[in-house]
Amino acid sequence: MRSGWGAQPWLVIPVKGAQGGKQRLASAVPQRERELLSSTVSRRVLHAACEVWPGDAVVVVTPDPGVAELSRSLSLRVLPDPGASQTDAVRLGVHHALERGAQVVATLAADLPLLGREDLIAVLRVSRRLPGRTMVLIPDLGGTGSNGMVVRPAAVLAHAFGPGSRRRHLGMARTLGLRTRELIRPGLAADLDRPGDLEELGGAQGVLAGATRG
């Protein structure tokens, strides 16, 4: 074990399998295009994580063999996703980090088409400076969901993702006695949950072109 791991903030990225993913976009995007969207955007997120975050403190939780292979090629840690929910996947990654002495753990969604290096740098900077008993939420563009969070201490399992998660997370923070802050950046807020999200980003082709350029 390398010295200093406990002091290093960890990052957990849950990545669903491309096949059958993004079902809420099914009314607007054919299956093959949805799979390409999911794969292209998640690759962008993983590459950004590799460039910014120390790789031995990044955990990718996924059921997708292709994502797992890419993650390993980028020297990121990989855990198999049992497929229950995003929250369960995140908590699996958090437990992995806790077993290695993590004090601060960030988590970030993998469907962020505008994510850039500066966004990951902002998350890493917040994680390194986070005081005790604090939760930093990363809200989505609509302000009702959460695209990620940073928590100290890492052992406080305050993760409850899904529709309406921002309110749940704030409620859990109050119950647990955590101070709350928010990190708001366009690259962290724009996700691909609904057809409206896709339209705002210029449609599937616009997202693919932007993610490829990134």
Helix (H, G, I), strand (E, B) or coil at 87: helix
Q: How many domains does the chain have?
A: 1
- pLDDT score of 24: 54
Q: What is the mean pLDDT of residues 173-202?
A: 81
Q: Mind spelling out the 3-state secondary structure of 8-56?
A: CCEEEEECCCCCCCCHHHCCCCCHHHHHHHHHHHHHHHHHHHHHHCCHH
In a domain, 49, yes or no: yes
Give buried/exposed letters for 128-156 (b at 16+ CB in 10 A, else e).
eebeeebbbbbbbbeeebbbbbbbbebeb
Give the predicted TM-score (pTM) of the model.
0.86
pLDDT tens by residue, 150-169 = 999 999 989 999 989 999 99
pLDDT tens by residue, 77-105 = 999 998 779 999 999 999 999 999 999 99
- pLDDT score of 83: 78
CA distances (Å), 88 to each of 7, 23, 67, 129, in order?
24, 19, 18, 26
Query: Which one, of 184, 148, 141, lies nearest residue 53 by Cα?
Result: 148
The CATH number of the domain where 105 resides is what? Answer: 3.90.550.10
In a domain, 62, yes or no: yes
- pLDDT score of 211: 52
Q: Going by DSSP bridges, is the β-strand pair 10-14/105-108 parallel, antiparallel, or unpaired?
A: parallel
In a domain, 169, yes or no: no
In a domain, 17, yes or no: yes
- pLDDT score of 35: 78
